[in-house]
């Protein structure tokens, strides 16, 4: 980009800034250049059409809409928005971290990753709470079935995610080194004190709290169904599969990313060798791809949640009319609230 931008800094202006532009950073580029483009490409190739099909299915095939349908539709939209960012990151890392799209797009893409990440976490949390109330307190949760309540809850999730992630746009740093523009993650920001406390607050409120809620919801659901009269029913089996998928997404995709992000920031505050710093950074990079893999778990979640979704997909493939779908719904074991 020929136009100067405020956050674009020339590395030659900081000859003593070895930590930011020295060998530690340069050694990580080959790892990113080979690993991240491959993983992100796979996620995009599978996830983009998968979520596009899911969105069209929820909009045109799933009738009548229920609370779970609306939450899953918003989750699919969140994933699709995230996946549209991946081609930019694929190009960036495949070209050896050379960002050619300008400072605004750098901030926008980094913001989009975190915004859609935390929107997805909060939508999964809302869905878990709905499932908990439907199964554990079925007589006292009629209001959550209303479309108005669900739409309002989803709107609140979007607003919370926007407010929580907005500071990232001020922490994202775009730099120039060896004639290349770099779009750095917010953990590489120069304001270490700010990103440390912001990261702790962001992680605690938008991940740790939802993690506790989701874990409590599904452990309670499984224990209740195991001891209840539906022990051997398909309802229990579906609840168990749903719990497994959701807990895998939280503990395998999201948890390592948040732990390693804290470690990554703390490592920049400590005096450690380049070797140790490189290992921490590489582990953090791997955890970022794990976080992106949650889109695969969400695709599986759409199928596990309801037989209606499976039947809607089948009807689209076979060309069945919507009336045929309504007939196949009868007698199915659905988990839709």
Quick check: 186 and 171 in contact, CB under 8 A? yes
Q: Using CA atoms in the order 99, 102, 104, 107, what is the torsion angle rounded to 10 degrees? A: 10
pLDDT > 60? residue 74: yes
Please give the pLDDT value at position 186. 85
Q: Which residue has the tokens 């919801």?
A: 217
Least confident residue range of 66-70, 111-115, 136-140, 237-241: 136-140
Of 230 and 81, more confident: 81
Spatial distance between the Cα atoms of 145 and 149, rounded to a whole number of angstroms:
7
Structure tokens at 136: 């554990």
Print burial letters for 21-60: b (CB count within 10 Å at least 16), e (below 16).
beebbeebeeebbeebbebbeebbeebbebbeebbebbee
- Domain locations along the chain: 29-307
Report the mean per-residue pLDDT for the chain.
Answer: 81
For 118, left (φ over 0), alpha (ψ -120 to 50), or beta?
Answer: alpha
pLDDT, tens digit, for every residue of 282-328?
Answer: 899 999 999 999 999 898 888 777 667 666 666 666 655 544 444 44
The CATH class of 29-307 is mainly alpha
User: How many Å apart are CA 124 and CA 134, to the nearest integer?
Assistant: 15
pLDDT of residue 143: 55
pLDDT at 141: 57
d(CA 14, CA 18) in angstroms, rounded, equals: 9
Give the model's pLDDT for residue 59: 87
- pTM of the full structure: 0.84
pLDDT tens-digit map of 97-122: 889 998 899 999 999 999 999 999 99
118-130 mean pLDDT: 94
The residue that leads in pLDDT, 105 or 175, is: 105
Q: What's residue 259's pLDDT? A: 97
């Amino acid at each position: 980009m020929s136009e100067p931008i405020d956050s674009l800094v020339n590395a030659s202006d900081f000859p003593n800034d070895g930590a930011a532009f020295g060998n530690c950073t340069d050694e990580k580029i080959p790892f990113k250049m080979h690993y991240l483009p491959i993983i992100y490409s796979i996620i995009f190739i599978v996830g983009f059409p998968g979520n596009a099909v899911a969105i069209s299915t929820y909009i045109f095939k799933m009738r009548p809409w229920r609370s779970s349908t609306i939450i899953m539709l918003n989750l699919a939209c969140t994933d699709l928005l995230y996946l549209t960012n991946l081609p930019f990151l694929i190009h960036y890392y495949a070209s050896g971290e050379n960002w050619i799209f300008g400072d605004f797009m750098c901030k926008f893409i980094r913001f989009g990753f975190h915004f859609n990440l935390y929107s997805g976490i909060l939508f999964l949390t809302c869905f878990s709470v709905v499932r908990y109330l439907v199964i554990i307190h079925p007589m006292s949760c009629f209001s959550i079935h209303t479309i108005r309540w669900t739409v309002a809850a989803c709107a609140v999730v979007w607003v919370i995610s926007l407010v929580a992630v907005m500071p990232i746009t001020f922490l994202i740093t775009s730099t120039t080194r060896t004639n290349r523009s770099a779009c750095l993650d917010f953990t590489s920001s120069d304001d270490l004190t700010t990103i440390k406390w912001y990261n702790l607050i962001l992680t605690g409120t938008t991940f740790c709290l939802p993690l506790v809620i989701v874990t409590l919801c599904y452990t309670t659901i499984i224990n209740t169904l195991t001891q209840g009269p539906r022990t051997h029913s398909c309802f229990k089996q579906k609840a168990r599969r749903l719990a497994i998928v959701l807990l895998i997404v939280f503990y395998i995709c999201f948890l390592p990313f948040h732990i390693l992000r804290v470690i990554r920031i703390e490592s920049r505050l400590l005096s450690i060798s380049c070797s140790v710093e490189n290992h921490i950074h590489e582990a953090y990079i791997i955890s970022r791809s794990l976080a992106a893999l949650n889109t695969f778990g969400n695709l599986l979640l759409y199928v596990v949640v309801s037989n209606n979704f499976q039947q809607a997909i089948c009807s689209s493939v076979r060309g069945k009319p919507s009336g045929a779908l309504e007939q196949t719904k009868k007698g199915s074991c659905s988990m839709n609230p």
